[in-house]
Structure 1
Amino acid sequence: MNALRVSSYRKTPGAEWWGFLPLLFLGVFFLYPLGIIFILVVKAGWTDGVGEAVWRQIARPLGFTVYQATLSTLLTLLPGLPIAWVFARFRFPGKRFLRVLMTLPFILPTVVVAAGFTALLGPRGWLNLALMSLFHTSEPPIRFLNTLGAILTVHVFYNLSVIVRVVGAAWAGLDVRLEQAARTLGASPWRAFWHVTVPLLLPHIVGATLLVFLFDFTSFGVVLLLGGPRFATLEVEIYIQTMQFLNLPLAALLSAVQLLCTLLVLGLSQRLTTGAVVSLTPRVKGEGIFFPRTWIQWLTVGLTILVLVSLVLLPLGALVTRSLVRMEASRGERGAVQAGWTLDYYRELFVNRRGSLFYVPPARAAVNSLGYAFATMWIALGLGFPAAYALNRRGASRTLLDALLMLPLGTSAVSLGLGYVVAFQRPPLDVASFPLLIPIAHSLVALPFVVRTLQPALASIPRSLRDAATVLGASPWRVWWHVDLPIVGRAVLVGAVFAFTVSMGEFGATALLARPEAPTLPVAIYRFLSQPGAMNYGQAMAMSTLLMAVCALGMLVLEHLQHE
């Protein structure tokens, strides 16, 4: 009897269909909208043809997209690999703080980062204000906004943590005895590094490099906010053609080109990294990690700290202080301006002085963002559990599900938003009558991370615990509730916080889907940054500071849960 009960649990009815719900979700809300875009492209090409002028409209943003993504990736690797070596091989004061600091840019919304660099290097930024005061000039000496340098700098800011995390973790896991053996056989430190360490790290370096390239290739908010009208990537051009020119066929064609490019990069990454990882003998924890011994090592550690503090802390610190300091008159304000510390920008967030019909209180935008974030969290968890269970089972569907789950990471958020606009035009799934459409789009981004968090935790549960609970009479539901869930509870919290944070900062798809009267915090910040005047600028800084505080709190919770 007991044996039958155990067997019945192991072959729970419907267990083979655990992956069906995530596949259905991906089919309806990911593959279908993108399929509609492709159909629109084919119809437009069949009816009107694709002339030389259209190809020029595609070639220009495509060329710049590849160009800036390549430059951004190379500039990220330049400091990223030495910093990864420092974190993998040295122990020094403040290392854990710097590790947390590197994680912060990865989860910060684009509009917050743009506001931070504007507060530091913009025309009214701290550095320009200081130089104008020092040299008694009326024009800012540093031209940062609307330049290629601004795009490249912020891309390095965002993606440095990817290189350091991926390559640094692999570097720290290498068996140092291999390099020591090469040194014993007469190899110089450089030859041991080049012929032993580099081949073992190469798959991780290639994987991280292609991932950074993909992030830079699909960049939207950075180029839109800091690049200005002179620069347009495929993402930005899709947004412009959709929102400004209402040219949906061209936008769909651009989306199709971008999707094909991202699939090509993902396929290349899969081909270059699959099966290339070398299994190494586990080493003792802390082995090969030591305090710097020579002045060159101390100098390298010092430069690492300087780069990270300058690149991360200065823009974010400038953002916070700029939201609290009044430096110039507001638009239409006459007379002397009292410069100094103020909370006016925070107070004015809740005042509609112009009586604008399009004014939305920041509290309403915050409520919208929080509502979407909580909905995203529950959707991602509700789909993440069956997807993680399905990936832990053997079968052909496992490979298909794994590939589909990763596909949204390489898909343009703007393209996805455009797909929703084109595909879901009628109730009950249109944007106006179906408020869950935005958190569903956010969930597609968060779901792969939630699954990657839950899958190893579920795989680590001993089958004997489940079997014992079943023998004692527990139903499959009670086994899940009293055995599985308590064990994976921390992984659930980590996935939930990550999904919540991703939703709070998402800008690309939301910019297309959010209604004017129901913006999220990132969309509201973009509105303030797009308007002239010191008060609008200060309010953008204040709102960005509040959003940064929410994301930083989520990051601290994640770090605490992961190290408990």
Structure 2
Amino acid sequence: MRFRDGRALSVGVVAAIATLVVIFYYPVGSVLASAVSVGGRLTLSPVVSVLADPFYTGAAHTLVTAPTTVPSGVVTWLRAGMPPVRLGLFGFTAYQAFLSTVASVVVGLPGAYLLARFEFPGRRFVRSVTMLPFVLPSIMVAVGFLAMFGRTGLFNDALALAGLGPVEVTFTLELVVLAHAFYNAPLVTRLVTAAWESVDSRRVETARTLGASPRRAFVDVTVPQLLPALLTASVLTFVFTFMSFPIVLALGGLQLATVEVWVFASVQNLELTEAATLAAIETALSLGLLYVYLRYEAAQIRPRGDGGGPTRTPLFVGRRSVLSPRRLALFAYGLVALVLFVGPLASLLVESVTTPDGQFTLEYYGFLLSRQASAASGTVRPLPAIRNSLLFGAGALALALPTGVLVSVVATRDSRWSRVAEALLTAPLAVSGIVVGLGMLRSLVFGTSLFGQRIVLTGPLAVVAVHAVAAYPFVSRNVTPALGGIDDRLVDAARALGADRTRALVDVELPLVAPALVAGAAFAFAISIGEFDSTVLLAEGVDSATMPVALERYIANRSLGPNLGPATAMGTVLLAVTTVSFVLIDRVGGRWER
């Protein structure tokens, strides 16, 4: 029986890894290989060519073209008072990621303080919605920011009521950074809140007993325990914004292009070698950053005290305390956070039913219906886009659910080989969708030979495969903690009654973790519905376009008019479908909750 148990798990792991080899490792490997080979010969010339080009690396290109002049060049630059230097594509990508990280920390850290230290009505709900950005399609949020901060958006409408002139912030770096903060500030809040709640209160009390002031105790005791979580959130935010694509594409365009946007533009221009080289360098940089993060996280693991976290105090405890400077600052922060996180979604809805002069209208939804009836070539029709999104989401879920469960089973097994298999199965988290989509184009979409067999994945199949790769980690993230928390005695009892390991998993463990499994399925389906990075490369024309792809084409098509009406209408439809799908899966699975 032990042999059969081990064989069942091994067969599952091998099958999952084999599938990832075909739809992930091989396509991504083809991209990386093209950066170090020309005509079948190993060479670094494509990489050197990119690194030596000032357009890509800015002033840093001298590190490749003239390394001996770098010391004197630095001295000259310092003597000149450190004037601005050309950043290049990679430098600008890192610069906007740094600014986005700073903005995310500035916005997210007060939220962590509020959730960890104060009790108030709706606190649990506020903490729960910090997961919302991981579900919302980024291209839809980008349209929401355009609707809010555009010349005819709600922000300028509010300024007009105050007698102030319009402010033009569209297609600026500031708007890109603000949108990145929308997505990543909740990540900072969530990680730091968890760390703050686990601070050993006895150590703080000991410091106070020894004469430390509240501020000194906070700096000397609390901050060192928060710093690992804050640095973790900062590194993850930097990696996410370094690889950001839909937000930069919609809010910045080519004038604020990052590496991801330029890779996409290169693919559109059929410059596949250049795109592959840029993607390979970007992937190497992101993997390096993730490696540093993992090493740092491992070094920070230490036993925590069991003295309990800090006691939360009521936020509303009388008029005098409410008017205290600290609470007034928190109220002001709450208003800013409300504008930042609710404003874009509210603007999306409002702008979809109002004209530029503020009159109610349904003409934008009528426009979508007219596009549905249009037979013109190149027309993106809404209903097929909705149908494609739902079908692709269902197919991706059918693949992502068993794969995510398998990763969770492997992650909860105490074995050296389990750790290796887990690392192989979670590798897709470190690679952007653009790189995976480009790899699919270069290999499986155009056809390739593997193990003597000709393999071709058409557009819809390729999209479903890539969506499944992007979605299954969200299943495992939900299932792994629940699976690891099951009492081992329940499984042992099932085994003692004659159940093998697979039967115990299906009959005992999975029913116990069904709520987490349903939550993971809801996240996976919503992630597939909103996936844009790889889909925009793999969708074959208008017939296989999804809702996010249709939305981007409505933004890009200036012939639709000077306003964002059609785009906001399509974005509202995308928001509705995403929300309904997420809630429906969650509700259907509610019968499993104990």
TM-score, normalization: structure 1? 0.89
Task: Provide Cα deviations, 1:300-348, integer angstroms capped at 9, x if missing partner.
Answer: 33123112201011111111011111236xxxxxxxxxx6222222233
Task: Provide Cα deviations, 1:246-268, integer angstroms capped at 9, x if missing partner.
Answer: 11111111011101100111011
- What's the CA shift for 1:457? 2.2
For the 8 Å contact 1:218–1:235, the answer to whether it is kept is yes
CA distance in 1, matches of 2:199, 2:462: 45
For the 8 Å contact 1:360–1:518, the answer to whether it is kept is no
2:21 pairs, out of 11, 17, 27, with 27
For the 8 Å contact 1:528–1:536, the answer to whether it is kept is no
- 1:296 corresponds to: 325
- 2:71 corresponds to: none
Task: Provide Cα deviations, 1:37-81, integer angstroms capped at 9, x if missing partner.
Answer: 122222348497644796334322111111100111011111222
The answer to whether the aligner puts 1:67 opposite 2:88 as a matched pair is no
CA distance in 1, matches of 2:135, 2:50: 41
- What's the CA shift for 1:202? 1.6
For the 8 Å contact 1:203–1:277, the answer to whether it is kept is no
CA distance in 1, matches of 2:563, 2:399: 35
Cα pair distance change 1:202/1:76, threshold 3 Å: same
The answer to whether the aligner puts 1:273 opposite 2:297 as a matched pair is yes
Question: Unaligned stretches of 5+ in structure 2?
Answer: 58-87, 449-453
Q: Classify the secondary structure of the residue corresponding to 1:82.
A: helix
CA distance in 1, matches of 2:504, 2:417: 25
For the 8 Å contact 1:100–1:559, the answer to whether it is kept is no
1:400 pairs, out of 405, 409, 420, with 420
For the 8 Å contact 2:37–2:43, the answer to whether it is kept is yes
Cα pair distance change 1:13/1:410, threshold 3 Å: closer
For the 8 Å contact 1:528–1:539, the answer to whether it is kept is yes
- 1:349 corresponds to: 368
For the 8 Å contact 1:405–1:447, the answer to whether it is kept is no
CA distance in 2, matches of 1:510, 1:210: 27
- 2:483 corresponds to: 458
For the 8 Å contact 1:76–1:160, the answer to whether it is kept is yes
**Within 5 Å, which residues of 2 pair with 1:59-138?**
59=57, 60-129=88-157, 131=159
CA distance in 1, matches of 2:51, 2:476: 44
Equivalent position amino acid for 1:74 in 2:
V
Equivalent position amino acid for 1:450 in 2:
V
- 1:15 corresponds to: 9
Cα pair distance change 1:108/1:394, threshold 3 Å: same
Cα pair distance change 1:178/1:430, threshold 3 Å: same
**Within 5 Å, which residues of 2 pair with 1:134-153?**
141-153=166-178
CA distance in 2, matches of 1:287, 1:206: 21
- Greater shift, 232-241 or 294-303, is seen at 294-303
The answer to whether the aligner puts 1:315 opposite 2:344 as a matched pair is yes
Cα pair distance change 1:87/1:396, threshold 3 Å: same
Equivalent position amino acid for 2:275 in 1:
A
1:546 pairs, out of 573, 587, 594, with 573
- What's the CA shift for 1:374? 1.3
For the 8 Å contact 1:105–1:312, the answer to whether it is kept is no
- What's the CA shift for 1:200? 1.3
For the 8 Å contact 1:151–1:223, the answer to whether it is kept is yes
- Greater shift, 480-489 or 466-475, is seen at 466-475
Tell me the matched-pair count.
Answer: 542
For the 8 Å contact 1:147–1:227, the answer to whether it is kept is yes
For the 8 Å contact 1:320–1:541, the answer to whether it is kept is yes
CA distance in 2, matches of 1:39, 1:16: 30
CA distance in 2, matches of 1:53, 1:72: 25
For the 8 Å contact 2:137–2:548, the answer to whether it is kept is yes
Equivalent position amino acid for 1:120 in 2:
M
For the 8 Å contact 1:498–1:558, the answer to whether it is kept is no
**Within 5 Å, which residues of 2 pair with 1:332-481?**
340-352=359-371, 355-424=375-444, 425-426=446-447, 429-431=455-457, 433=458, 435-474=460-499, 478-481=503-506
Equivalent position amino acid for 1:106 in 2:
F
State the identity as a percent: 35
What is the alpha-carbon root mean square deviation over aligned residues?
Answer: 2.7
CA distance in 2, matches of 1:247, 1:429: 24
Question: Unaligned stretches of 5+ in structure 1?
Answer: 329-338
- What's the CA shift for 1:390? 1.8
CA distance in 1, matches of 2:377, 2:563: 17
Cα pair distance change 1:180/1:20, threshold 3 Å: same
Task: Provide Cα deviations, 1:260-307, integer angstroms capped at 9, x if missing partner.
Answer: 1001110110111113133223456x8611113641332133123112
1:487 pairs, out of 495, 509, 512, with 512
Equivalent position amino acid for 1:109 in 2:
P
- What's the CA shift for 1:470? 4.1
- Greater shift, 340-349 or 249-258, is seen at 340-349
- What's the CA shift for 1:130? 5.1
- What's the CA shift for 1:554? 5.5
- What's the CA shift for 1:498? 0.8
- Greater shift, 90-99 or 51-60, is seen at 51-60
TM-score, normalization: structure 2? 0.85
Task: Provide Cα deviations, 1:197-243, integer angstroms capped at 9, x if missing partner.
Answer: 11111211111110111111000011110012311111001001111
- What's the CA shift for 1:8? 6.9
Equivalent position amino acid for 1:546 in 2:
V
- 1:56 corresponds to: 54
The answer to whether the aligner puts 1:162 opposite 2:187 as a matched pair is yes
CA distance in 1, matches of 2:414, 2:215: 44
